[in-house]
Amino acid sequence: MLKLTKKTDYALMAINYMAYRKDSFIANTRNISETYNIPLELLAKILQKLAKNGLIVSQNGPKGGYTLAKEPRQITLGEVIRTIEGPIQIVRCIEGDTTCSQTELCTIRSPLRKIEGKIITFLDQITIDTICNENIEKELTVN
Amino acid sequence: MLKLTKKTDYALMAINYMAYRKDSFIANTRNISETYNIPLELLAKILQKLAKNGLIVSQNGPKGGYTLAKEPRQITLGEVIRTIEGPIQIVRCIEGDTTCSQTELCTIRSPLRKIEGKIITFLDQITIDTICNENIEKELTVN
DNA sequence: TTGATCTCCGATTCTTTTAGTCGGATATAA
DNA sequence: TTATATCCGACTAAAAGAATCGGAGATCAA
């Protein structure tokens, strides 16, 4: 399925939550979890991952929590997806994948890879700022 | 994960196989299965589904098999994906989905839906003919 | 008309991925 | 020092994906 995981959804909601608040506001896991009805433990892991990858900054101890590490317009959708789900692969077979038994005869891999590239580029152009403002008009065409 | 299933890969390979041959050539499941090393039973189901949805035409009995129902330039990637995987949904929550506990507070759904729309439009622009000729240059941008 | 070769189709099992849980450690403000 | 945070690995449960099985129906050729 060509679908984002719930984890990515949660990550985007959390980032959005922070983006709507002032820089000085420190959001903690419990706040976000209760606001959006996301399992606490699961959200905690997601935020840790985002922090580890430098998308958000963590502040330990009581009154601690998370803030965005960059401006909303500097965080892209592609970046968030990659942080949570790993490299974006619409096509299955990676370069040098030995498990694919169709490798040699596969006629569709190369063109699909191009399509994948287009979609990745697209996702990397969409920022959190764009999402916050519902300002998605960028095109995605096929000359 | 934002990834196509193996079934879709198999479907595309099979369609591609037929597209490369003359209209009079009837491809049977075994041929394709052996050529690309795809489990026979699985491929059979996929082809049945494609036939049921009018993408290919089945010919029963010995010397039977499948041929494309339309020209390669009339079959789109989006169409194939939908036939095999069902409606394309990059975002999880469907309109009227009651199971999503974030429904009311979710701030990201609407913008993500726009993004989804862009990608679907893109996939619907790509034809089998395009894939065969590796002629994918259509863009996918974000104004 | 009979047998071989196809498609057809539902039901089932196995595997992988995703989702969510649990237990315990570390940091820090009050 | 205590309450409240993040941190982190290991684990379990649920869902989706991949593959298999068994048998029915069509059709061509001998």
- Please provide residue B129's backbone torsions phi and psi, each rounded to the nearest 5 degrees: -60, -45
Answer whether residue B95 shows pLDDT above 70.
no
Amino acid A3: pLDDT: 92
In this complex, the residue of B2, B92, B126 whose CB is nearest that of residue A88 is B2
Amino acid B139: pLDDT: 61
Both tokens assigned to A127: 């920022």
Looking at this predicted complex, what is its ipTM? 0.89
Closest by CA to A76, choosing from A55, A94, A62, is A55
Residue with more model confidence, B15 or A142: B15
- Quote the percentage of chain B above a pLDDT of 90: 68
Amino acid A22: pLDDT: 73
- Quote the percentage of chain B above a pLDDT of 70: 84
Amino acid A143: pLDDT: 46
Which residue matches tokens 């989804």? B116
How is B56-94 classified by DSSP, letter by letter?
A: EEEE-STT-EEEESS-GGG-BHHHHHHHHH-S--SSSPP
Amino acid B19: pLDDT: 93
A-B CB pairs within 8 A amount to 178
| Chain B residues touching A131 at Cβ < 8 A | 108, 111-112
Answer whether residue B98 shows pLDDT above 80.
no
Q: What is the pLDDT along chain A (143 residues), one digit of tens a residue?
A: 789 999 999 999 999 999 988 778 999 999 999 999 999 999 999 999 999 999 999 999 999 999 999 999 999 999 999 999 999 999 876 554 545 555 556 778 888 989 999 999 999 999 999 998 876 666 665 54
Write down the pTM of the prediction: 0.90
In this structure, what DSSP letter does residue B142 have?
-
Q: Measured between alpha carbons, how far is residue B2 from residues A91, A141, B10, B24 in Å? A: 9, 19, 18, 37
Q: Measured between alpha carbons, how far is residue B12 from residues A48, A93, B32, B72, B105 in Å? A: 39, 14, 11, 11, 39
> Hey, what amino acid is at A107?
T
Element (H, E) at B50: helix B40-52
Amino acid B101: pLDDT: 56
Tell me which chain B residue has its CA closest to the CA of residue A135: B111
Tell me which chain B residue has its CA closest to the CA of residue A100: B37
What number of CA atoms fall less than 13 Å from residue B140's CA on the CB side?
28
Both tokens assigned to A66: 């998370």
Q: Do B3 and A81 touch (CB under 8 A)?
A: no
In chain B the domains, ranked by start, together with CATH numbers, are: 6-139 (1.10.10.10)
CA distance B15 to chain A (A): 10
Would you say B91 and A111 are in contact if contact means Cβ atoms under 8 Å apart? no
pLDDT band at B103 (very low <50, low <70, confident <90, very high): low
Which residue matches tokens 């065969």? B132
Residue nearest to nucleotide C8 (CA to C1'): B48
Residue nearest to nucleotide C21 (CA to C1'): A41
Residues B108-125 have pLDDT tens digits of: 888 898 999 999 999 999
- CA B142 to CA A121: how far, in whole Å? 10
